[in-house]
Amino acid sequence: MSWIPASDIKVGIDHKTGDVDSLFVQGELLRVKSADRLPLLELTLLAGEKRIPIIPQVNQVESLETGDESTRISFSHCISTHDPSAVWHIGGICLMTLDASGTIHWQVSIENKAGLPLCELLFPRLAPLYFAGRTELVYPHHAGERIVDVPGALASEKYQKFWRAESVATEVGY
C-alpha cells in the first residue's frame, strides 16, 4: 500500500462546529456535500432503555505546533440532537494529526459529568466525499470503500440491508 505524503493533503476544519469541511488531495478538492455533513463526534447516552444522541458544542479549534499538522477541538458540553435546549455536562478534546507519511491519526478524550453512562461514541464521522465535478464517491460511511455508481449502489439490496447503516429511500434518492 502506498500513502499520499502529508505535503499533498490539506484538511479544512470548520472553526465553529469542528467538523471536516474540505479535503484536498494532491491539489484536487474532495467536495463534502454540505447537506450530508455529519458532526465529527456524536455520543449516545443511555437512560434506562432510552438512547439519547448528543453532539458537542465546540469552544475552540486550534492548530498545534507539534512538528506534524495537528488540530485540537475542545468542547465543554453537549446538546441533544432531538432537543437543543437539553444541555449535557460532557466535555472533551478531539485531536486530528496528519503525520509526514500522510497518515491521519484521530484521538478523542471525554469527561462525562452527565450522570448517565455513554453507550456509543462515533468518531471520526465524515460525510461522503466526492471528487469535485464528478459523482465518484471516495469516502462513504462504509470506510475506505470506493463507489463509482453511487445512486445504483445505494439502491442495491446490499446497502438497503446493511444492518444499522442501511440506505433508506427518500424523495431525492437514497
Report the pLDDT value the prediction gives residue 4, as an integer from 0 to 100.
58
140 burial (CB, 10 Å; 0-12 / 13-18 / 19+) is buried
Whether 166 is in a domain gets the answer: no
At 29-75, the pLDDT tens digits run 776 665 556 788 999 999 999 999 999 999 999 988 776 788 999 99
Band of pLDDT at residue 79, cut at 50, 70 and 90? very high
Question: Has residue 160 been placed in a domain?
Answer: no
* Residue % of the chain over a pLDDT of 70: 71
Its domain, for residue 93, covers: 6-27+37-125
Q: Does 76 map to a domain? A: yes
Q: Tell me which of 53-62, 67-76, 98-107, 155-164 is least confident.
A: 155-164
Tell me the pLDDT tens digit for each residue of 120-142: 999 988 766 666 666 565 555 55
| 156 belongs to a structural domain | no
- The answer to whether residue 63 is domain-embedded is yes
- Confidence at residue 104, expressed as pLDDT on a 0 to 100 scale: 84
Grade residue 2 by pLDDT with cuts at 50, 70 and 90: very low
- Range scoring the smallest mean pLDDT among 78-82, 88-92, 131-135: 131-135
Task: Domain count for the chain, please give it.
Answer: 1
In a domain, 174, yes or no: no
Residue 62 inside a domain? The answer is: yes
Q: Identify which has the larger pLDDT, 133 or 109.
A: 109
Residue-level pLDDT at 92: 98
pLDDT at 152: 76
Question: Does residue 18 lie in a domain region?
Answer: yes
CA triplet 131, 106, 81: central angle to 5 degrees? 80
